[in-house]
Amino acid sequence: MKRIADELRQADVGKVWTNEPLANHTTWRIGGPADLLIQPKDKSALLTALNIIRRHEIPWSVIGRGSNLLVRDGGIRGAVLKVAEGLSHCEFRGEEVRVGAGYSMIRLATETGKMGLTGMEFAGGIPGTVGGAVYMNAGAHGSDLSRIIKDAEILFDDGEVVVLSNEELNFSYRTSLLQERKGIVLEARFGLRQGDRKEIAATLAANKDRRRLTQPLQMPCAGSVFRNPPGDHAGRLIEAAGLKGFHIGGAQVSELHANFIVNRGGATAADVLTLITHIRCTIQEKFGVEMHPEVLVVGEG
């Protein structure tokens, strides 16, 4: 792997690490090492890096800010591409905005509001990047990405770069085509509407205050752990089961919001996975409801 890392550095693709703990790159502060971690400096560098990886026939995966992600304690074999600052451009054209996959969703919601564009307010508390949000069809406050995205440029595993429309991305609740076909979001184009700047700012501020009061933002976490069951809320069920504050090792059900699991110090991925299983079994036993995790689990045990 060192030889491939040297080749990537010689190609000047950006930052390159070997045997890098992914706990340093996830919001849960959990995760074993990646054999090779690459943070491309721009879109061209990403294409170059993927070509080198494919030529050496090593497996690869992709992360953004590391929210909504649990990396197992054994880490990830092969190469991990971190789509971050190098793909964080943002361009406004009337009521449209074209954004790089590494751009922060929270920052995007703020910037569109400043431009007097409405439709992105729901994203003011989504901690990930645009690329991750497209992958997961991220949403909050009764809306999601599928309602505003026009299309996205995708780099697929075979090296093909394709622009896919909203319909072709095959969105549904917290899912997209990218969970079926391996690819990397390069950028996305959103269609918004003109709105009142004061009203948009007020909505963003109200959502921020609500998050501050109800979510454990001061502790390492990954966002909501479970999808909401039809007609109900995961947090309500977990709280009703008496699991608020329950912990296994360093992983604890948040005392603020029961659909968050926090790292209270020294948590391992095994702790989180055991706690997730306990929650699922308890909810099934008490309420007959099957809970489905929203967080993506990757890597080796």
Note if 239 is an active site residue.
no
Q: Please check the confidence at residue 28 and state whether its pLDDT lies above 90.
A: yes
Q: Is the pLDDT of residue 208 over 90?
A: no
Neighbours of 212 (CB within 10 A): 12
The 10s digit of each residue's pLDDT in 151-164 is 999 999 888 899 99
93 shares a domain with 80: no
**Does 173 have pLDDT greater than 90?**
no
Mean pLDDT of 264-272: 97
Same domain for 38 and 116: no
Mean residue pLDDT across the chain: 95
Which single residue is written with the structure tokens 């689990």? 297
**pLDDT tens digit sequence for 61-75:** 999 999 999 999 999
The CATH number that applies at residue 275 is: 3.90.78.10
Catalytic residue among 67, 176, 224, 254: 224
- For residue 235, count other CB atoms closer than 10 A to its CB: 21
Say which of 121, 153, 187, 294 is annotated catalytic: 294
- Does 193 participate in catalysis according to the annotation? no
CA-to-CA distance for 187 and 131, rounded, in angstroms? 7
pLDDT digits (tens, 9 = 90+) for 91-123: 999 999 999 999 999 999 999 999 999 999 999
Answer whether residue 229 shows pLDDT above 90: yes
Residues 66 and 11 in one domain: yes
CA 217, 300, 297, 5 torsion-angle sign: positive
21, 69 Cβ separation under 8 angstroms: no
Domain that holds residue 282: 216-298
Among 212, 239, 274, residue at a domain's last position = 212
Mean pLDDT, residues 195-214? 92
What CATH number is attached to the domain comprising 206? 3.30.465.10
Q: Write down the pLDDT at residue 205.
A: 93
pTM of the model: 0.92
Residues 120 and 187 in one domain: yes
Give pLDDT tens digits for 177-188. 999 999 999 999
Active site residue 212: no
Six token digits for residue 51? 């070509």
What number is the average pLDDT over the span 131-145?
92
Total domains in the fold of the chain: 3
What CA–CA distance (Å, rounded) separates 74 from 118?
A: 43
Lowest mean pLDDT among 29-38, 154-163, 257-266: 154-163
Q: In sequence order, what are the residues at sequence separation of 6 or more whose Cβ sits closer than 8 angstroms to the Cβ of residue 6? A: none
Question: How many angstroms separate the CA atoms of 296 and 242, rounded?
Answer: 25
Q: H/E element holding 162? A: strand 161-165
Given the residues 29, 65, 174, 189, the one annotated as active site? 174
Q: What is the DSSP string of 165-231?
A: ETTTTT-BTTB-GGGTS-EEEEEEEEE-EE--HHHHHHHHHHHHHHHHHHS-TTS---S--BPPPTT
Q: Are residues 119 and 179 in the same domain?
A: yes
**Distance in angstroms (rounded) separating the CA atoms of residues 230 and 21:** 37
